[in-house]
Every structure is written in C-alpha cells, then in structure tokens.
Amino acid sequence: MKKALLALLISGATIGAASAQVEIGLKVSPSVTNLRVDSPSAYSFVNESAKASIGGGLIVDYFFGENYAFGTGLELTGKGGKISYLETTTTGQQQRIEQKISLQYLQVPVTVKLFTNDVATDTKVYFQLGGSLNAAIAGRINGDKRYLDPATGQETKGSKHVIIPDAALRAGAGVEYQLGQSTKMIAGVSYHRGLFNIDRYFDKERGFTDIELKNSEFALDLGIKF
C-alpha cells in the first residue's frame, strides 16, 4: 500500500513538472494616465487632463495548465495627470491652481492569464485579470523635481507629494502569435485602476481634509516572449 501511494505521488509530481512551463519576455507599454480626484466642494479639486506615459519591463508567465497561466514580472511605468483646485489668497479671493503631477512606479503584477485555443494559425486570444503591487520611486510637479507652492512660498520635493505604496486592479486582453518554436509576439490593451489614495502633500503639508487622488491607466501592451 505504501509503495503504491509513493508511486502515485511520484507520478503526480512528474506529470505536474512536465505540464508546468515558464515563459519569459519583455514588453513596452505606451499609456494614457490620469488622476481620479475627490474633495469637498470648498477645494473643488478637478481632473483637468490626462498625460501620455510609457512603461515596460519583464514578463513572466507560469503555466499550470495548457491554457492557464500565472502572470507576473517587473514593470517600470509612468503615471499621473494634471489637476486643479481652489486656493484662498490672503485677500480672501479664490484662485484656481494647477499642478501637473508626473510619477514613476515599479510594479509587480499578480494576475491570471486565460488563453483560448488557436483562433487562427498560430494565434491565440488571451484575457488577463488580477492586480499589481506598486511603489512610487520618483515624482515631478510641473516638470520639476521641486515644487514652490504659490500660496505658502514653501518648497517641497515632488516625490514627497505622494505616498510610496499603491495597489491596482488590472484587466486586459490581447492576442499572442507564435513566431517560432519558443518565440511569441504579444499585442494587447489593459486597464489599471489604482486603489489607494496616494495624496500626502495636501493632507500633511497644507492641512486640506478629505482629499483623494487615485491613479488610472489605459495601456497598449506590446511584447515578445522567448
């Protein structure tokens, strides 16, 4: 009985190892990003416009079935956008102030990829669902590393305007084309919805209350797996 059980376990492990497959590649992701804002009406925060960014990094797909994979990797990407808000001057008048916030993040995707069978010769469609763990590593305000607040005259580092950690939900779809025995081309689109309120400046430096800034990103994912 023990020998039979041991043989069964060894057989299962062997089949699992044979079916498991890791595919590694690189990608580049041009994107459009913006900041979702929310605030009390007294501050009147507004999302003025999006910004074009570009990112890229390492793709790692660990297949645990013929058409199912755990998708991860390491990405460097830009995020941010232009916002504006009402500032009360020393004379009691209100003035609208704009900030163009540019951020860089390191990201680790934590997703599941689902692949169809071939929809055309050597071509599969994939769907990707999950999230990512993100960390802000750099920031600029209005194109500069330091920001001089026109209301207070205080200078701060752009990287200090946001908290470091963030997390996002991610959904995407695309096609994967087999070029050779192990080479595959990838083209897809994805949406990344930030979950954390990343603001630190308005809360800590200005004493504004109930201000929320959250990341959003639409990306075009172009890559190659080897």
If one counts the domains in the chain, the total is 1
Tell whether 13 is covered by a domain: no
Question: 51-65 and 94-115 as β-strands: parallel, antiparallel, unpaired?
Answer: unpaired
Tell whether 7 is covered by a domain: no
The reported pLDDT for the residue numbered 12 is: 41
The reported pLDDT for the residue numbered 92 is: 73
What is the total residue count of the chain? 226
Residue 70: Cβ-neighbour burial (10 angstroms; 0-12, 13-18, 19+): middle
Nearest-angstrom CA–CA distance, 146 and 128: 38
Residue found by looking up tokens 């779809």 in the block: 173
Q: Report residue 2: phi and psi, to 5°.
A: -65, -40
Find out whether 69 and 46 touch, Cβ atoms under 8 Å.
no
The reported pLDDT for the residue numbered 182 is: 87
Tokens of 34: 């913006």
Tell whether 30 is covered by a domain: yes
Tell whether 149 is covered by a domain: yes
The reported pLDDT for the residue numbered 79 is: 98
Tokens of 195: 């979950």
Closest by Cα among 28, 57, 34, 55 to 46: 34
Tell whether 3 is covered by a domain: no
Nearest-angstrom CA–CA distance, 144 and 125: 42
Domain hosting residue 43, numbered range: 21-225
The reported pLDDT for the residue numbered 152 is: 86
The reported pLDDT for the residue numbered 20 is: 65
The reported pLDDT for the residue numbered 19 is: 47
Query: Could you tell me the mean pLDDT of each successive run of 10 residues in the chain, 226 residues long?
Result: 43 45 97 97 96 97 96 98 90 88 98 97 98 98 95 92 98 96 96 98 94 98 97
Beta strand spans in 66-93 (E): 68-88
Tell whether 15 is covered by a domain: no
Query: What is the domain-level CATH number for residue 40?
Result: 2.40.160.20
Tell whether 122 is covered by a domain: yes
Nearest-angstrom CA–CA distance, 83 and 101: 8
Tokens of 12: 């299962």
Q: Please give the model's pTM, rounded to 2 decimal places.
A: 0.88
The reported pLDDT for the residue numbered 11 is: 43
